[in-house]
């Protein structure tokens, strides 16, 4: 059911092959020469190869999933799709230090019914699953991938969801048609959290989670010793105990695999650091929202850090305001009185104002956390785990306003996570030979007006240059587009055709798209400015598709942005607004 609605919505595209009953993924045997190129040339762009390392009017050639060439005198290959990038900026694709993007966990897991002794639940119910991998849960359809890509993220370190030890992580590309396409590295780390079991079973408190970490580590240490002894001389020795939970901790005990902890608050951060000090495991730390309160402790620890791209919302009041207070929240520390002593209950309004200022000051500390870490000499990347993708650029701007240097922000999105994750030979800069993960913008990424125009993941183009505004602005002569059009879509497996019907007036346009199977889809957010027509198609499930074409008389040409590669679409008008045949 869900699959069929998905297909219907995507019927327009290469994925419509499903509807035609043809295989979706090309297998080795029936590989055909694709009709569209996978070679691109971004010409005359400003190329930020790495923070502080800029090439003006340079060309970047993307070929076969890799950055083929970068420079001013680069020869553009014969088959390249040329993208005029005179006014564009090319950055290395951003890297996400820890997230659940592209991960879909099964529902109702770890539910063993009512037979569980709350004091001694099985490992999965206790949230102890280090033997599990995120790999089987990777899902290219996860809409987070699309929204993070639009913000510039092209790869990341993803972890399974769960409780104290949810499983091993993976480095993945934030694009591709299958989970296999997305994989970079398996099991670079074990994900860990100070998080209680999901039901009311042991460990039901943070202190029990901490005790359980000690128990697991020390017992794993014993078992590893026994296993080594047994391997040397099994005769006459009792077989060592076997279970995948303890043995999956062996690489951590050996110092080869880090525990990647997520912790935002100062207390959980301290608890993780204390645990590391006690048990001596290699650590990776993500979250850090309140790390402005733990700077000294972090300076003494050797661990890759990934700061959350989430920032707190403004606080609420517990009771209605019964007094009018001047808005002093822009510079709360100028008005806050740390020594205020309210003399009597009659002066409570004064105290309330002071409390609100204190809240505003605390808020500012969080906004300045990135700057605080930077000033303390701590190097960090970012994690998108708790961030709303659409807010990420706003939050980065806020961090920069609060004192984080722009180059450091860019480094924290590119080069630093690349080296912290051990991906720096493949990702993080715009250099020949690296994986073709690129972010192409129409200005500095950190400027408010800048838009992300294109994103490349693994050499695949995701085109956002044609994204319509959500409302659908209509201006110009609508009779240029109203009527019926026959369209042709170039897909990797050949051409697909169908019809497009548009009607309306300057107050708004609406329309229907009918594919070759006769399946109809409503157009949404239809915009027209006299030359460019754009609209989106929203499948019932999955990410939306953006279509943008330039109308020239009775023909149009443009692109369709999909979760996969962007496709070229052309069209010809078959009847005018009055229904007249052409």
Query: What DSSP character marks residue 531?
Result: S
**Position among 19, 74, 208, 486 found at the interface with other proteins (CB under 8 A):** 208
Of 180 and 274, which CB lies nearer to other proteins in the complex structure? Answer: 274
Q: Would you count residue 198 as binding other proteins (CB under 8 A)?
A: no
Of 241 and 390, which CB lies nearer to other proteins in the complex structure? Answer: 241
CA 235 from chain center: how many Å? 52
Of 68 and 356, which CB lies nearer to other proteins in the complex structure? Answer: 356
Of 179 and 267, which CB lies nearer to other proteins in the complex structure? Answer: 267
Q: Which residues of 455-481 are buried (b: 16+ CB within 10 A; e: fewer)?
A: bbbbbbbbbbbbbbeeebebeeebebb
DSSP run (H or E) holding 451: none
**Position among 178, 342, 425, 497 found at the interface with other proteins (CB under 8 A):** 342
Count of residues engaged in binding other proteins, rule: CB under 8 A: 72
**Position among 72, 82, 222, 451 found at the interface with other proteins (CB under 8 A):** 222
- Indicate the SS3 state at residue 107: coil
Judged by CB under 8 A, the chain residues 118 through 157 that form the site for other proteins are 118-120
Q: How far is the CB of 360 from other proteins (least distance, A)?
A: 9
Long-range contacts of 343-350 (CB under 8 A, 24+ apart): 349/322, 349/323, 349/325
Interior angle at CA 144, CA 141 and CA 147, nearest 5: 110
Q: Are strands 39-50 and 81-84 parallel, antiparallel or unpaired?
A: parallel
Instruction: Find the length of the chain.
Output: 582
Of 24 and 321, which CB lies nearer to other proteins in the complex structure? Answer: 321
CA–CA dist 54, 47 (Å, integer): 6
Q: Would you count residue 391 as binding other proteins (CB under 8 A)?
A: no
Give the interface segment with other proteins, choosing from 85-93, 224-232, 500-508, 572-580 (CB under 8 A): 224-232
Of 230 and 446, which CB lies nearer to other proteins in the complex structure? Answer: 230
Of 208 and 400, which CB lies nearer to other proteins in the complex structure? Answer: 208
Give the interface segment with other proteins, choosing from 16-24, 74-82, 332-340, 492-500 (CB under 8 A): 332-340
Of 76 and 297, which CB lies nearer to other proteins in the complex structure? Answer: 297
Q: How far is the CB of 446 from other proteins (least distance, A)?
A: 23
CA–CA dist 98, 383 (Å, integer): 5
Treating both helix axes as pointing N-terminal to C-terminal, what angle do 348-367 and 392-401 enclose, rounded to 10 degrees?
Answer: 100
Q: What is the DSSP string of 136-177?
A: GGB-TT-HHHHHHHHTTEEEEEE----SSB-EEEEEEES--S
Give the tokens for residue 561: 């942005």
Q: What is the DSSP string of 493-523?
A: TEEEEEEEEEEEETTEEEEEEEETT--EEE-
170 vs 185, 190, 358, CA distance in Å?
Answer: 6, 9, 41
CA–CA dist 211, 289 (Å, integer): 25
Task: Give the residue from 145, 126, 292 showing the smallest Cα distance to 202.
Answer: 126
Judged by CB under 8 A, the chain residues 310 through 329 that form the site for other proteins are 312-319
Q: How far is the CB of 165 from other proteins (least distance, A)?
A: 16
Give the tokens for residue 479: 């009779």
Judged by CB under 8 A, the chain residues 251 through 290 that form the site for other proteins are 266-267, 270-271, 273-274, 277-280, 290
Annotate each residue in 350-389 with x if it binds other proteins (CB under 8 A) or - if it does not, as one string.
Answer: -xx-xxx-xx--xx-xx-----------------------
DSSP run (H or E) holding 232: helix 206-232
DSSP run (H or E) holding 524: strand 524-528
Q: Would you count residue 333 as binding other proteins (CB under 8 A)?
A: no
Task: Give the residue from 573, 567, 475, 452 showing the smallest Cα distance to 527.
Answer: 475
Cis peptide before 203 (omega within 30 of 0): yes
Give the interface segment with other proteins, choosing from 76-84, 199-207, 437-445, 498-506 (CB under 8 A): 199-207
Q: Would you count residue 188 as binding other proteins (CB under 8 A)?
A: no
Which ranges of 73-118 would DSSP assign to H, the alpha helix? none
Of 274 and 425, which CB lies nearer to other proteins in the complex structure? Answer: 274
Judged by CB under 8 A, the chain residues 93 through 122 that form the site for other proteins are 118-120
**Position among 83, 98, 145, 210 found at the interface with other proteins (CB under 8 A):** 210
**Residues 6+ away with beta carbon under 8 Å from 492:** 14, 26, 34, 35, 36, 565
Of 24 and 215, which CB lies nearer to other proteins in the complex structure? Answer: 215
Give the interface segment with other proteins, choosing from 13-21, 335-343, 493-501, 545-553 (CB under 8 A): 335-343
Q: How far is the CB of 403 from other proteins (least distance, A)?
A: 18
Q: How far is the CB of 501 from other proteins (least distance, A)?
A: 48
**Residues 6+ away with beta carbon under 8 Å from 336:** 354, 357, 358, 361
Of 199 and 504, which CB lies nearer to other proteins in the complex structure? Answer: 199
Q: Would you count residue 331 as binding other proteins (CB under 8 A)?
A: no
Q: Would you count residue 296 as binding other proteins (CB under 8 A)?
A: yes
Q: How far is the CB of 100 from other proteins (least distance, A)?
A: 21
Give the tokens for residue 158: 């993803």
Q: Would you count residue 221 as binding other proteins (CB under 8 A)?
A: yes
Of 236 and 579, which CB lies nearer to other proteins in the complex structure? Answer: 236
Of 316 and 330, which CB lies nearer to other proteins in the complex structure? Answer: 316
Treating both helix axes as pointing N-terminal to C-terminal, what angle do 392-401 and 406-413 enclose, rounded to 10 degrees?
Answer: 140
**Position among 26, 186, 348, 376 found at the interface with other proteins (CB under 8 A):** 348
Give the interface segment with other proteins, choosing from 6-14, 45-53, 133-141, 208-216 (CB under 8 A): 208-216
Give the interface segment with other proteins, choosing from 142-150, 292-300, 419-427, 534-542 (CB under 8 A): 292-300
Of 7 and 276, which CB lies nearer to other proteins in the complex structure? Answer: 276
């Amino acid at each position: 059911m869900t699959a069929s609605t998905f297909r219907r919505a995507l019927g327009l595209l290469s994925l419509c092959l499903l509807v035609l009953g043809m295989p979706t993924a090309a297998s080795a045997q029936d590989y055909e020469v694709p009709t569209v190129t996978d070679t691109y040339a971004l010409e005359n762009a400003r190329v930020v190869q790495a923070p502080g390392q800029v090439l003006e009017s340079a060309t970047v050639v993307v070929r076969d999933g890799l950055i083929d060439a970068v420079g001013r005198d680069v020869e553009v290959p014969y088959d390249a799709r040329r993208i005029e990038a005179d006014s564009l900026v090319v950055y290395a694709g951003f890297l996400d230090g820890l997230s659940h993007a592209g991960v879909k966990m099964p529902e109702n897991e770890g539910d063993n019914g009512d037979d569980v002794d709350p004091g001694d639940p099985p490992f999965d119910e206790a949230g102890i699953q280090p033997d599990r991998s995120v790999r089987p849960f990777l899902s290219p359809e996860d809409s987070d991938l699309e929204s993070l890509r639009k913000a510039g993220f092209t790869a990341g370190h993803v972890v399974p969801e769960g409780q104290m030890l949810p499983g091993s992580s993976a480095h993945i590309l934030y694009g591709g048609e299958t989970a296999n396409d997305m994989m970079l590295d398996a099991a670079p780390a074990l994900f860990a959290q100070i998080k209680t079991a999901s039901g009311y079973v042991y460990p039901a408190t943070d202190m029990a989670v901490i005790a359980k970490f000690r128990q697991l580590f020390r017992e794993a240490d014993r078992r590893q010793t026994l296993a080594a002894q047994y391997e040397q001389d099994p005769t006459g020795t009792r077989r060592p105990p076997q279970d995948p939970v303890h043995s999956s901790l062996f690489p951590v005990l050996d110092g080869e695999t880090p525990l990647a902890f997520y912790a935002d608050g100062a207390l959980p951060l301290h608890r993780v650091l204390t645990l590391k000090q006690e048990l001596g495991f290699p650590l990776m730390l993500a979250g850090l929202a309140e790390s402005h309160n733990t700077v000294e402790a972090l300076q003494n620890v050797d661990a890759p850090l990934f700061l959350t791209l989430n920032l707190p919302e403004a606080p609420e009041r517990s009771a209605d305001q019964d007094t009018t207070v001047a808005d002093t929240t822009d510079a709360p520390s100028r008005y806050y009185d740390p020594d205020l002593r309210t003399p009597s209950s009659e002066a409570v309004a004064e105290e309330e104002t002071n409390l609100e200022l204190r809240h505003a000051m605390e808020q500012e500390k969080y906004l300045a956390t990135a700057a605080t870490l930077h000033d303390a000499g701590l190097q960090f990347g970012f994690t998108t785990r708790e961030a709303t993708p659409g807010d990420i650029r706003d939050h980065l701007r806020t961090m920069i306003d609060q004192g984080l240097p722009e180059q450091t922000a860019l480094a924290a999105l590119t080069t630093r996570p690349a080296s912290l994750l051990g991906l720096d030979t493949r990702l993080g800069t715009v250099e020949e030979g690296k994986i073709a993960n690129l972010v192409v913008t129409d200005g500095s990424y950190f400027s408010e007006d800048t838009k992300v125009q294109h994103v490349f993941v693994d050499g695949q183009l995701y085109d956002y240059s044609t994204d319509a505004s959500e409302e659908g602005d209509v201006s110009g002569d609508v009779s240029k587009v109203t009527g019926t059009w026959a369209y042709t879509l170039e897909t990797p497996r050949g051409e697909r055709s169908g019809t497009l019907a548009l009607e309306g007036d300057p107050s708004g346009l609406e329309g229907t798209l009918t594919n070759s199977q006769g399946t109809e889809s409503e157009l949404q957010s239809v915009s027209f400015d006299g030359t460019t027509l754009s609209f989106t198609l929203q499948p019932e499930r999955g990410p939306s598709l953006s279509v943008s074409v330039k109308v020239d008389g009775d023909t149009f040409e443009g692109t369709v942005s999909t979760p996969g590669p962007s496709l070229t679409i052309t069209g010809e008008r078959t009847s005018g607004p009055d229904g007249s045949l052409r």
